[in-house]
Each structure stands twice: as structure tokens, then as C-alpha cells.
Amino acid sequence: MIRTQRLTAGVCALLAALTAGIAFPAGAVADETTATAPKVDLVIDVSGSMRANDMDGQSRMAAAKQAFNEVLDATPEEVQLGIRTLGANYPGDDRKTGCKDTAQLYPVGPLDRTEAKTAVATLTPTGWTPIGPALLKAAEDLDGGEGSKRIVLISDGEDTCAPLDPCEVAREIAAKGIGLTIDTLGLVPNTKLRRQLSCIAEATGGTFTSVEHTDELADKVNQLVDRAADPVVTPVATTGAEQCAKAPTLKSGLYTDREEFGQQRWYRVDVEPGQELRASVSVSADRAVSPSYGVLLRAETARGREIVRGEAAGNGRTDVISTGLRYPKAQSDDEDEDTATAETVCLQVTHSFSAGSGVQATPGLPLELTVDVVDGPSQSSDVASFGLGRGWWLLGALILAGFLAGLVWGWLSRWRVAVWRTN
């Protein structure tokens, strides 16, 4: 009887575990993939110049198509991939029409490899090179969702649609969307193209690659798509205030903000006694800035007394300048635990980037702030470990002290014996 009961109980438990195991994670995964799936939009230049036969003996277009086929085969399941063209449809000479020529070839979503490949096969080099408008549209394609977003731009010629500077377009896109990066690939070793494409990449924290062979192109695009699939922490957007009193209160996490030249940003963090505040800040140089720069992060009390600061300065080519600080708040001496209240620490961020007159000041430079409040402050009562020593001098000193103590003790006992004897 008991045995059967046990058996049924066991079977039930097993069944419950199995169903829970099957049903629960599946649901959780499905929810997660739709909301946080990484999105990639491949933007390909289909302008007339793609006809040129200089990629391993075939035309740039043929090379791009071959590379795309390889990329579509290798795209990880979780990545939502889309394809957008620029200059694919309008063959005429009218600049105005030509500069609007960008179309969605394959919508961003779960990838149907055959369909996407068929769509790519139809491409023929045709029109202008409207990079700026294409980037704007691509950013719209990627709208929504919380996963990382990446635009991969493949082009063989600089933008032919001035005055809309694609570099500034990229910066504005990056300012609007969180976690959006633009990677660029140039198919022609041309200085002007290099400048423009690397400017676009740097404006969003992406990379620029100059490609001269078909296999390089496929490898690089694959690498970029894989990079999008890597799980990363998506920062939360926040807006710091001009002064501490109006500043937003932050909890542990990763935040982004924008800070213009000469601006200061304030944030507040609550630190309870016995906790340690750790904050670090990075300011990215997403445009042409003067070669010397710095960043200062200060922690102040609500009354304006500086507790600790982190500062960094540098010069030369850089993507980011960063610094951090640590503030362990001692355990309160009050015996009554309830009276111990959290202290509000004000964090002030200022940077000393500067730019020439031609450089746009808005949107501000991207700022990344990490805040960690961990339990238990660090403490130390002595520089040495538990007051212990080490080294030959320590041994020598101990031996000498021991020897002298022995001498004195021996002499004392001898003296005592002598006194006792004489009495």
C-alpha cells in the first residue's frame, strides 16, 4: 500500500516536473525572443557604380550578392534580419527623385532564407547614392523592441545627396534610439569614402571596414550579424538635471544620457549605511573633437560637500573617456537600526571635450553611467594583513627579542635563586 502510494506520488511529481519543465521555459523563451530579439538591417548600395568589375574579377554587385547569400545561410536563428536598398529603382538624372530612392527589399523579422535570397537575386545596379535618407528609413525599420539594433551599410561611393550629411544623420539616429549601432563597409579604397563611412561608424560606436575581396565581405558581414546576436546589457535612458535638487534618483543599473559641450549633469543615488556606491561614467566622442579632453565625476552630499571624485584626461584619438568612483558608507553607530536612513549622494558629471566651430553641438555627446550599490562597505584597520608581518627582518627582530627576553629571564631567575640561597 505504502509502496504504491509512494510510486503514484513519485509519478505525479515527475509528471509535474516534466510539464513545468516543458511548459514554463517554452513560454518564457517565446516572450523573450519577440521582445528582445536582436535586429539587423543590411543596407546595400545598388547605385550605378556597383557595376564596376573590380572585386576578384567580378562586379561589385555580384560580389555583394554572393556575400549576402553566404550571410543569409549563416544568420543565427534568433536574429531578425531585414534588407534595404538605396539607389535601386530610379535610373534617371533628376537629383531630387534620385535622392529619395531607397526601398525595403526584405522586412525586418524572422528570416525566411529562400525568400530573402530570391529578393537579393533581383537586384541590378541602377541609380544614385542617397546614404542619409536610407539610414533614416533603416532606423525606422528597426523601430520597436528592446534588443540590440544594428545597421550594416555596404557602399561603394560617398553620398551624392548633399547637403544632408549622412554623418549627422547617423548621430541623430543614435541619439534617438538606444543601443543602435551602424557598421559600415566600403568597397572602394577611396579616401573620401573612407572618411565619410568611418565618420558614420564613429558617430554610433560602430566599425568601418574597407573591403576589397568577396570572401572578406561575407566574413565581415557575418561577424557583424553574429555580434548583434551576442547578448548585451541594454542601457536605460535617463536625463540628468542641471542641479542636484532636481536630479533623477537612480538605482543599480546601466544608464545612458546625452551631455552637450560645457554642460553638467546631476544624478542622485540613495546609499544606506553599510552599503557601498560604485559609479562609473564614460563619455563617447561621436564627432570630431579637439585632441585633448577629460571627464570628471564627483560625488557630493546633498549639502554640497564633496565626498570623492574620479577624474580622467587624455589626448589623441579616442572613442571614449571614462572614470569611476567608490564610496563606502560606514555602518551607522546608532544602536537603533530604524533611525539609520539612506543618504542621498549627488553625482555630477562634467566633461571637457571641445570641438571646432563647424561641429554641431546638439545632440550632446553620448554618456554611459553605471551605478552599483553593493552591500557591506569595505574596511581596513591596518595596512598589514591582520597585523601579520613577513620577511627576514621580521624573523631577525623576533629572534633577537626572544633571545633578549630569554637572557633577562635567565638572569632574573638566577638572581632570585641566589637571593633565596643567601637568606
Q: 47-76: which residues touch other proteins (CB under 8 A)?
A: none
Stretch that binds other proteins, among 61-69, 105-113, 342-350, 393-401 (CB under 8 A): 393-401
Q: Which is nearer to other proteins, 108 or 373 (CB)?
A: 373
231 near other proteins, judged by CB under 8 A? yes
Q: Using CA atoms, how far apart are residues 305 and 302, in angstroms rounded to an integer?
A: 8
Q: Which is nearer to other proteins, 120 or 371 (CB)?
A: 371
Cβ atoms of 319 and 205 closer than 8 Å: yes
Nearest to residue 127, comparing CAs of 166, 96, 168, 86?
A: 86
Q: Using CA atoms, how far apart are residues 196 and 167, in angstroms rounded to an integer?
A: 7
18 is written with which cell numbers? Answer: 516534466
272 near other proteins, judged by CB under 8 A? no
Within positions 153 to 182, which residues make up the interface with other proteins, using CB under 8 A?
Answer: 181
371 near other proteins, judged by CB under 8 A? yes
Q: How far is the CB of 284 from other proteins (least distance, A)?
A: 8
Residue 400: HSE in the Cβ half-sphere, 13 Å Cα cutoff: 6
252 near other proteins, judged by CB under 8 A? yes
Q: How far is the CB of 419 from other proteins (least distance, A)?
A: 11
- Pairing outcome for strands 365-375 and 275-284: antiparallel
253 near other proteins, judged by CB under 8 A? yes
Instruction: Pick from 75, 102, 126, 322 the residue near other proteins by CB under 8 A.
Output: 322
Q: Which is nearer to other proteins, 44 or 321 (CB)?
A: 321
91 near other proteins, judged by CB under 8 A? no
Instruction: Pick from 241, 320, 340, 355 the residue near other proteins by CB under 8 A.
Output: 320
Inter-axis angle of helices 113-121 and 60-74, nearest 10: 180
Within positions 204 to 223, which residues make up the interface with other proteins, using CB under 8 A?
Answer: 205-210, 216, 219-220, 223
423 near other proteins, judged by CB under 8 A? no
For residue 96, the surrounding DSSP H or E stretch is helix 95-98
Q: Using CA atoms, how far apart are residues 224 and 209, in angstroms rounded to an integer?
A: 11
Count interface residues toward other proteins (CB under 8 A).
Answer: 97
Q: Using CA atoms, how far apart are residues 169 and 173, in angstroms rounded to an integer?
A: 6
Q: How far is CA 183 from the centre of its chain?
A: 15
Nearest to residue 88, comparing CAs of 33, 43, 153, 41?
A: 43
Q: How far is the CB of 231 from other proteins (least distance, A)?
A: 3
Q: How far is the CB of 168 from other proteins (least distance, A)?
A: 20
